[in-house]
């Protein structure tokens, strides 16, 4: 059955449910590690309860069934009638996956499918106090998480689902729900009267919000015809219903004071949902303003006008502030990505019989929404490889004098206009000699070339296409591909990736990416009389060309930088080969750039300087041309091409 996606109540439910579902995955894994955390237990209970209430209001019976079962199980846990264990958590996590699948169907405009009968049977067994049959390690769940990763990234962030308190008894809670839903019995009437005497106005209002999805699902003209909800065994008393059917308890809550109402109203208006398309339009207009500012600053240098300089300086400040504010509207915390990894690591560790603790730092670090989405897949590959290749099984760790529990640290920190991401583990580390031998065995290089590699170059071999240290192929960390995709993807984001490792101690992979992809800091250079822009994030160092420092190795030109040979190329030969003006190869500047994990040198004729540019798409004739990332307008009004260095080198350089 098709769903009316224009229904405002449905849209509110989708936003709220997505926030809760994103939190539940991380909360469940944390609860398994700290089963005595009552506050966390209550937060998970409230999460399933809130989704069930909203789904019941929208008559999504299949979603209600699963959430109701999970809610009942967590109620048993809260009462101490069951204990948290791995088998129970396997079933609950599978239930969360099923609810996520239903949520995806709902967002696509379709009625959610019924839950698998096997899952419902397992949930009923848990509710009855029985132990469900142990299943195989949850590898399939991990693959599903990987496939659905991107679809779960969008949406606003909120901690509301875990912020409420649980200060009344279960009997009082059930009684109040019966009163509110107009399902009183004489016995419940008496209990409701007692309960109303024992809770204050604030608690009553809070419970109303919980039942009606924080007040978002109570629009009268949107109410369904029936307030009944199907449950696995018996009708639930805790269903959300339209506001017009709500009967107040015997003792009416006192009206809020005027000041309190004003305060509450102001709090409700502190945020507003805006379509990302509109934010993109604002960012494009700010980009145009930046180009005009750059043009005026260039004109300022040719005019000796003090008043004009003051006006341009003021415009520069305002434009910079506006640019920063516009960028922040598109920012999201990296937690949108990090929040999925506790589940990924937990399932992988169980499938590999490993004991792993995941530590996360800097989850509130903000970066562009597009980057948050683009970083999801590379980070999944890297974390899964740390679990599979890095951390040893407990027996091996114990024999090596290490704690049986391995540690993976995932961190993010802002450094200027860039974000530094780090994935570190205390596992076995990398053996440079083994990596050299694998490269030779796979035919990636001969023994002499492998022998000349230093340890860092050996570590970077894992990013070569088809390179794998695994003797057997598995679905956990790829099939010999994946790490090369990581390097390519990071390069496409104008980022860099480096590896540090110590045999027996562990490995650290660092990724550096810009805060945003809309406005890019660049190094402007001249080739003949043409201007080109190099992404500044890839620039490592610049020095004057000195032919005495160049040499030819294996038929390729290299330059010596602190005792290390770096491939050297003349950009002019790649970009403007038709230029017939004489080129003096003994003069120019060498720009050392990071290409993924490698360093390469490029000779340019002149250096113009650093400039922030707005990336403009290429025209139809240039779209798809390898080596070009876009175009921009320089301060003097000329058009400059922005170079895609990884694409350029893969097209022109015969060997990386």
636 is written with which tokens? 């003097």
What is each CA distance from 557 to 520, 536, 548, 554, 583, in whole angstroms? 30, 24, 12, 9, 17
What angle do helix axes 139-147 and 341-351 make, rounded to 10 degrees?
A: 150
418 as an active site residue: the answer is no
Catalytic residue among 32, 71, 172, 392: 71
d(CA 532, CA 628): 10
Residue 71 among the catalytic residues: yes
Q: Is 460 a catalytic residue?
A: no
CA atoms of 545 and 306, how far apart (whole Å):
39
| Contacts by 115-118, CB closer than 8 A, 24 or more apart | 115/62, 115/65, 115/66
Q: What angle do CA 361, 365, 371 make, to 5 degrees?
A: 115
Length of the chain: 656
DSSP, collapsed to helix, strand or coil, labels residue 476 as coil
Selecting among 294, 385, 494, 594, the annotated active-site residue is 385
Exactly one of 16, 26, 32, 49 is catalytic; name it: 49
Angle CA(495)–CA(496)–CA(497) in degrees, nearest 5? Answer: 135
Report whether 242 contacts 269 (CB < 8 A): no
**Residue showing tokens 């009416």:** 252
Extended beta strands in 615-656, E state = 628-633, 639-643
Kindly state the DSSP code that residue 528 receives in the 8-state scheme: T
Q: Which two tokens stand for residue 79?
A: 């009462």
Alpha carbons 218 and 185: distance in angstroms, whole number: 24
Q: Are strands 406-415 and 356-361 parallel, antiparallel or unpaired?
A: parallel
* Of the candidates 27, 30, 32, the residue with the CA atom closest to the CA atom of residue 44: 27
CA distance 525 to 611: 11
Residues identified as active-site = 49, 71, 385
């Amino acid at each position: 059955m098709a769903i009316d996606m224009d229904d405002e109540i449905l849209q509110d439910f989708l936003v709220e449910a997505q926030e809760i579902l994103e939190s539940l995955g991380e909360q469940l894994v944390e609860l398994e590690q700290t089963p005595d955390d009552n506050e966390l237990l209550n937060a998970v209970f409230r999460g399933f309860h809130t989704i069930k209430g909203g789904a019941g209001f929208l008559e999504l019976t299949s979603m209600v069934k699963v959430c109701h079962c999970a809610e009942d199980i967590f109620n048993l846990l809260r009462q101490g009638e069951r204990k948290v264990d791995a088998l129970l958590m396997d079933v609950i996590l599978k239930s969360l996956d099923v609810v996520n699948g239903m949520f995806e169907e709902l967002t696509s405009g379709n009625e959610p499918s019924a839950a698998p009968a096997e899952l419902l049977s397992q949930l009923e067994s848990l509710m009855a106090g029985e132990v469900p049959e142990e299943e195989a390690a949850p590898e399939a769940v991990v693959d599903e998480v990987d496939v659905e990763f991107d679809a779960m990234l969008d949406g606003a962030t909120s901690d509301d689902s875990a912020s409420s308190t649980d200060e009344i008894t279960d009997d009082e809670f059930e009684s109040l729900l019966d009163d509110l839903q107009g399902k009183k019995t004489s016995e419940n009437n008496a209990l409701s009267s007692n309960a109303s005497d024992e809770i204050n106005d604030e608690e009553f209002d809070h419970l109303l919000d919980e039942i009606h999805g924080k007040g978002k699902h109570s629009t009268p003209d949107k109410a369904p015809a029936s307030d009944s909800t199907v449950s696995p065994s018996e009708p639930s008393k805790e269903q959300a219903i339209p506001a017009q059917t709500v009967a107040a308890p015997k003792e009416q809550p006192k009206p809020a004071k005027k000041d309190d109402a004003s305060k509450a109203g102001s709090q409700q208006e502190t945020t507003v949902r805006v379509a990302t398309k509109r934010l993109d339009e604002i960012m494009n207009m700010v980009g145009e303003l930046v180009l005009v500012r750059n043009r005026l600053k260039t004109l300022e240098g040719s005019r000796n006008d003090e008043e004009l300089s003051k006006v341009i300086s003021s415009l520069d400040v305002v434009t910079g502030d506006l640019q920063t504010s516009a960028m922040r509207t598109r920012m999201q915390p990296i937690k949108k990505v990090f929040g999925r990894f506790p589940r990924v690591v937990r399932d992988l560790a169980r499938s590999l019989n490993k004991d792993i603790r995941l530590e996360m730092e800097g989850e509130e670090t903000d970066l562009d929404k597009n980057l948050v989405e683009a970083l999801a897949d590379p980070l999944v590959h890297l974390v899964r490889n740390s679990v599979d290749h890095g951390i040893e099984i407990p027996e091996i760790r114990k024999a090596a004098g290490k704690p049986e529990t391995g540690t993976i640290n995932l961190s993010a920190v802002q450094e200027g206009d860039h974000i530094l991401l780090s994935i570190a583990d205390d596992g076995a580390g990398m053996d440079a000699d083994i990596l050299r031998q694998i490269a030779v065995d796979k035919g990636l290089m001969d023994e002499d070339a492998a022998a000349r590699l230093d340890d860092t170059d050996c570590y970077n071999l894992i990013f070569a296409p088809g390179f794998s240290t695994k003797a057997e192929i598995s679905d956990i960390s790829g099939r010999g591909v994946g790490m090369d995709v990581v390097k390519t993807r990071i390069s496409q984001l104008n980022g860099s990736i480096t590896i540090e490792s110590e045999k027996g101690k562990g490995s650290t992979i660092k990724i550096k990416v810009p805060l945003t992809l809309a406005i890019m800091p660049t190094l402007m250079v001249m080739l003949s009389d043409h201007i080109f822009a190099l992404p500044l994030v890839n620039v490592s160092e610049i020095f004057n060309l000195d032919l005495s420092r160049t040499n030819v190795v294996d038929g390729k030109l290299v330059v010596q930088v602190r005792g290390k040979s770096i491939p050297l190329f003349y950009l002019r030969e790649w970009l403007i080969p038709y230029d017939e003006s004489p080129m003096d190869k003994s003069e120019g500047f060498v720009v050392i750039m990071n290409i993924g994990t490698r360093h390469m040198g490029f000779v340019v004729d002149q250096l113009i300087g650093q400039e922030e540019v707005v990336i403009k798409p290429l025209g139809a004739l240039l779209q798809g041309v390898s080596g070009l990332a876009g175009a921009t307008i320089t301060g003097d009004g000329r058009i400059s091409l922005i170079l895609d260095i990884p694409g350029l080198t893969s097209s022109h350089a015969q060997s990386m």
